[in-house]
Structure 1
Amino acid sequence: MKTNLFYITVLLVLFSACKASYDASEYIKSEKTDVPDYNLEENWAVLPNKYTAEFTEFASKEPDTLKADVFYVYPTLNTEKGDLRWNVPINDKKQQEKVLNRAVLYQASAFATSGKVYVPYYRQAHLRSYSRLKNGGEQALLLAYSDVKKAFEVYLEKYNKGRPIIIASHSQGSTHTKFLLRDFFDGQPLQNKLIAAYVVGTVAKPDLFKTIKVMTKPNETGGFVGWNTFKKGYYSKKGKDYFKGSVTTNPITWNLDKTTTLEQHKGFLYSNNKIYDKALKIEVTDGLIWSTTPKFPGRLFMSFMKNYHVGDINLFWKDIQQNAELRTNTYFKLKSNL
């Protein structure tokens, strides 16, 4: 009984982030910490030689055979009302634990059979930054992106060695990867190395980039996908039209299908580290993925939820894993035929 309670507690934490809005003082420049040095391994949550035991369980069993890389940027994890900091120092132990045991384990792991995974710690902006853009939020988010950008520059210089790349992100991480794709890939030589970009949990219009297109086939490469998940019949508290026009990829079939069956769903990664297949059906609406309540232990608690934002990736974990593998394999086949 205690074990089940623990799993339910963890699930509620996983699905409770990014819900609240806070009041705080305006941005304080003096709270900026030193710019991280990404030449130091300690400033990376994940490197190919730095996987946790739990993460390794989901990663490729033959990592030396992987020919691609995955650069993953994690979502907003600092949501505490009492925390008045705008940005979290990367050596904050509580934040590091959240990065490894929530975001990396339940999101980045989906890509760990397609490439070698790189995850930098960054001075993440507090959740309130989005609701207080004019009073410090924009500065906090730009500071966070400056870290992501610097980490990616070091990754290219020190680690990449010309290997193709999957970009993966969620929520605030996707805010930053939209800039990352613009600054390094869009219409630039590096775009030829882009296998796919999974820009999840954000508003992303189809014309967001000049040359990086929305992918509408499961084996398409060189473009991006994205979606936002809600319980069927519900919309964002920001309004029915908040996500209207945003890219809404079907994360089960990866094509233009508007609905799916239970049998098509490949697997939800739950907080007990078990995968539950045939757990949900979805409906693609304008800017949203509507999901039925997933079938898994403790599903009663989710019956009260309307916003499935925090589950955008782990609800479709196995579907994403298989799709990332397909796109990676397709990329190399296409390159070998040139």
Structure 2
Amino acid sequence: MASLRRTLPPVNSLVIFEAAARHLNFTRAASELGLTQAAVSRQIQALEASLGAPLFQRQARGLTMTKDGTRLHYATTMGLEYIATVCVDIRRRRGPKDLTVSSSVTFASYWLVGRLNNFRAAHPDVDLRLVASAPVSDLVSAGIDVAIRYGSGQWLGVVAERLFGNEIWPVCSPRYLEGREPPKSVEDLLDETLLHLGAFDRNWVTWEAWFKQLGVTMRPTKRGFTFDNYLILLQTAIRGEGIALCGQRLAEDFIARGDLIRPIETALVSDNAFYLVYPTDVPLSDSAQRFRDWIRAEVR
């Protein structure tokens, strides 16, 4: 057999092609893979150049596959599905007490880690690995047993169990209000030093959106700081340098310790919630079932 490296195009381009051909839409393929639409388009163009043949016909109404594209999609789907099946089987052969849990860095830092000792105390035989990162689109391929996600609960390929909802509160350190009159209304917050998150995902509620939902127009102001990392933003609030927006569940431990307070009681109820998710087609291991039962009880 000829060297696969010489005859195959880059494997990553085949994975991207499979998603694009399945959706017949580069934008939806990009969303599934966690890429930009432009990145998907470049990969498809490179694959077509490598093969010397068009794989898609670009039409006003959308994409259709050429004859060569249909042949390649059939072969790619069969090959990748077989590889995925073997990988799932190999992962199942891990130690029966191994457990990999995924969540965002923020949720892991401000809610989950502080409670994992309770799980470990109840299940000392489980070898738990926590993956704190951006949401993973394919839990099985990443070797993740269960994950905690924030959003609408509508994700392909997973079961999503709602854990708890979320209210968005303004929070600040008691030091921020020392020696001054606290704000008495939502409008009063417009004159305060507000801490903004500059790089946010679609689930993030900005100050502008928070004010708008409460019927207040956010007027331009030079006061405040902008961050690209929420952990740093909240630490800045704890140091007494401004007012931040924070979800109820992320703020509750800080408030219980007295690190943060709510300068006003107004809250915005989010349409999103926190969910426990796990793959639809892969049975939960004993360790994953125990984690599911534990976190269900923990959030009551």
Name the larger-Rg structure.
Answer: 2
TM bin (shorter chain)? under 0.3
Greater helix share, 1 or 2?
Answer: 2
Greater strand share, 1 or 2?
Answer: 2
TM-score, structure 1 length as denominator? 0.23
* Higher relative contact order, chain-length normalized (CA < 8 Å, sep 6+): 2
